[in-house]
Structure 1
Amino acid sequence: MTGETTLSVVVPMYNEEAVIDGLVARLRPVLDDLHVDYEVVAVDDGSRDATVALLTARARDWPQLRVVRLRRNSGHQAALTAGLHRARGRWVVSLDADLQDPPETIAEMLRLARAGAAVVYGVRADRSTDTFFKRHTARIYYRLMRRIVGAEVPAQAGDFRMVSREVVQTLRRLPEHNPVYRLLIPALGFPSAEVRYVREARHAGQTKYPLPRMIALAWDSVANFSAAPLRLATWLGTGSFLACLALMAFGVIGHLRGVTIPGWTSLFVAVLLLGGVQLVCLGLLGEYVGRIYAAVQNRPTFHVGSDTADDRPTGTEHRTADARPVAAVRG
């Protein structure tokens, strides 16, 4: 691929061997019909199945396909970060491999981006293919996030979006250790547009976002964008103090009326209340201290093992996403 890359499509993958053929069959015609220079950056997030082997085989007859391998499973957002950092396109699309977000929407996204939108969100207008539980928990999540971050967060917009090179460079300069892009990008305030679509059923395989990962994403979203948990600790402490005052008043009144019993019960209740609230507060504070500790260490959230683009002859010198010169390898 020579010249400037117009479009990069970043596809995080983890154990997605069952969907690769379907993804290539739908994505490649869409991108070829755009008649622009493009690349597909498939980021393997430490898969344990045949994902890498299948991607490597497809890359032999699809020169625009790059395979970026992470050394270990680092999580969806980390894999997405790796793809954004290594993408070279003027515009970058992030797309999940499961085909629930239709690749055919990319053409409309590119049209809106060329018209001046720095960010084009893919908004799920219809989620009837999702389970009842997932639809309603997603509605609660987005409603909460819009209250925390602001109304600029599109409702029902996940990680299917197109961003400009300027947005990518801005994201790279941010000190986020565990970025949640569906909230972080709207918070930047770039001019945006939306493309609405019907969310499809998963093409094949199993979801990579089970309940524990959904809960972890929700917690990262709250902790990264709000000090509400710390304020909760403050309110718990205030409530504990008021409860202690009530217990003290109860004890004094009981003593004055001469109906007191040896103070085991009141002491037990007071200690239990104070101890419980203190533990909750310490746990919440510990979550934030842990994040500060991780940020101070500044350890990378992912480690790229290989990138097939680094081994391809291009005839010219190019620069990777981290701006270090990489000499072309000539065959």
Structure 2
Amino acid sequence: MTKRQLKLGALTIGCGGPGRHNLWLDPQLPADASVNVDWYIEIARQAEAALFDLMFIVDSQFITEGSPSHYLNRLEPLTLLSALAVSTRHIGLVGTLTTSYNSPYNVARRLASLDLISKGRAGWNVVTSGDAGTAGNYSRDEHYDYATRYGRAAEHVQVVQGLWNSYEDDAFVRNRATGQFLDPSKLHSLNHQGEHFSVVGPLNIQRSPQGQPVIFQAGDSEQGRDLGAATADVIFTHAASIEQGQAFYRDIKGRAAQRGRDPEQVLIMPGAEIYVGDTDAHAREIEQHYHQLDHSFALALKEFGRNFGWHDFSQYDLDAP
């Protein structure tokens, strides 16, 4: 019988992400948790001690005054994860970087650096940026359309992985007796020419102990599922029921097989909210407390605006056409 092992990831939302706007009011949490590196280090060490497999840092790059508290003021993922890398020993470190507003060379170099700093514990959560307002922060009049975003993403990942293969594992001889630092036969340029990117290479950093960072992805649309099935090692998902989760699992495994991949090499990690108490009833009380604290029509209306560049829908008569 094949032995299977449960994988656990800790996703932190600092002082309050979507659906948790008022989390920062909790006196047990530092009000500045989202920019408090000591708090993150403590959480990472607790997760590592509990044998979690990874810490997962989400990100976005567009806000309004109505954005959740964590979005308004938070640390950049790879900068934060570099601090966690030298404060932990075993836990995986996964950061979100968008393919829409980052160049492949820069992404490859930053993640390869994190992978070396952490001794082979880095992961990349590939996103295309859902917030349309992000375009205005990157000198664009409008966001990329859906097809372009996912076309760029597929090519972006391909280029980044190609750059991670710039050096073979033993390319650096470092022979002081002969004065040879590099075996040039084990250095490879990329010379990529594609629809969205043109990248010569090679990357100026060696391979890490794990070879290259692990690829994560969380898209649920048709294009998102195709991207995950084609490129990801791990796929996050949220399902409203066990049946929906099982259907997603079968769909992704099938798409991976259609692309010539071993479905068993694609890990599916469903999201779950966990409330811990002394008893089941106590845990339910804690759950109810946070739901009452954070769920209101006004907050839900703000959150609805995220899909429209954080547009403020409270200005309308909601009973009107």
Short-chain TM bin: under 0.3
Ranked by relative contact order (alpha carbons within 8 Å, sequence separation 6 or more), the top structure is 1
Q: TM-score, normalised by structure 1?
A: 0.24
Relative to total residues, which structure has the larger helix share, 1 or 2?
1
Q: TM-score, normalised by structure 2?
A: 0.24
